[in-house]
Structure 1
Amino acid sequence: MRTRTTRRAAALSAAGAVLVLAGGCTSAPAEEAVETLPEVTLQTFDAPGRQAGEQQGEVYLPEVEGPAVVNLWASWCTPCREELPVAEQFAQDHGDRVRVLGVNYLESQPEEARSLAEESGLTFQLLQDPDGELDGASPFPTLQGLPFWAFVDADGRVVHREFVVVESEQQLVDLAEEHLGVRL
């Protein structure tokens, strides 16, 4: 009887050791994943009417400071064309508290995009992703349409992503307050 108990205990002990080695120790809390914007460097978008002194060149997205809203748009996207003035109004009214960053995504007509930016009076920082580097670049999903919005908190973490048409400044204020924890 004692031999059977000893063998069973040894077998259970060995099985437990294998589980601990294979699965790791479960008593320590798991670290929360911190996802910044994708590890991509994008060129700035030269558009007439840019604010004086705005830095031209490249932006490494993980270094974007929040809170921020990031909008992916293109001139061929009708809802994007309609919401760009809304994003501009949000930037004018709340840009001192929440950064606005626009990314001209997979643009097939760069001159049309420049004209649209000028017509919309865009003054917030614009970047360009003509080759679709953001498509599926974690934490961004596969981008199957536009417009797309990402919300970056004060710690630089992407806290919300959404394919949504923003139809009013109040809608964007509500989204920013909900996901960024700011009061506008």
Structure 2
Amino acid sequence: MVRALGRRARVAAGAALSLAVLVGLAGCGEETSGGQAGAPLGDKPSSSKVDVATDEMVSAKKASEVEPCRAGPADDGGLPKIELRCLGGGESADLASFEGPLVINLFQGFCAPCKEEMPALQSFYETYGDQVPVIGIDVMDTVPGVALEEAISRGVTFPMYADPGGELQGGPLTARAVPATYVLSSSGKVQLLQMGGMKSATQVKELVEKKLGTTL
């Protein structure tokens, strides 16, 4: 039997819910599938005009070992036709030009689990990138310079793009929280690899093998 809450109970429940939401937004520490869940994302923002290649970002990227952004070779690799700008300057790319197998990591600069998993993704990329490349996409982020700085400081070298306006939302790469990582198969199938931070290259490898039905 469901009972209606009295006024005092409703106020207490509302306060508890507000506190839980604030903790979720600020802490980014909930465990999910062997990793840490990241910051929840809201509705699609009106921030598509955010500069993802300021002079400072371009200089920082040039001084780093981050690889240049390049469009893929496909006409339709299975992903939607969305033009992504290159984080830190460089060639934009049509998302549909990428083909699998490919790991796609969605992140933000202020998300602690995003930063914590970067070394695991980089280690996977260094070991298995010839078989399964990795790209990063800084999503719905109004301060992309922080995302680039954090990635560089953690040794990331795989190409990174930006979607400040949330163009990916509503499609196969929708992120309800970050970090969120997807894998694109050679047949164009998109699957969620992991919602929440990954802790090691071995974990990334095992998840990729399971989703793609292959051995690396």
TM-score, L = length of structure 1: 0.70
What secondary structure is seen at the aligned counterpart in 2 of 1:62?
Answer: helix
Q: Map 1:111-130; keep pairs closer than 5 Å.
A: 111-130=145-164
Q: Rg: which structure is higher?
A: 1
- 2:169 corresponds to which residue? 135
- 1:43 corresponds to which residue? 85
Q: Which amino acid aligns with 1:82?
A: E
Aligned length: 141
- 1:180 corresponds to which residue? 212
Q: How many Å apart are 1:35 and its aligned residue?
A: 8.7
Rounded Cα–Cα distance in structure 1 between residues aligned with 2:80 and 2:181: 13
Aligned-residue CA RMSD (Å): 1.9
Match of 2:187 among 139, 145, 155: 155
Q: Map 1:24-173; keep pairs closer than 5 Å.
A: 36-46=78-88, 56-137=90-171, 139-141=172-174, 143-160=175-192, 162-173=194-205
What secondary structure is seen at the aligned counterpart in 1 of 2:177?
Answer: coil
TM-score, L = length of structure 2: 0.60
Q: How many Å apart are 1:92 and its aligned residue?
A: 0.4
User: Structure 1 regions of 5+ residues with no counterpart?
Assistant: 1-33, 48-55
- 1:12 corresponds to which residue? none
* Identity of matched residues, %: 32
Matched-pair contact (CA < 8 Å) for 2:105–2:182 = yes
Q: How many Å apart are 1:85 and its aligned residue?
A: 1.2
What secondary structure is seen at the aligned counterpart in 1 of 2:211?
Answer: helix
Q: Which amino acid aligns with 2:173?
A: F
Can you list the C-alpha shifts for 1:90-113, whole angstroms capped at 9, x where unaligned? Answer: 100100000101001112222211
User: Structure 2 regions of 5+ residues with no counterpart?
Assistant: 1-75
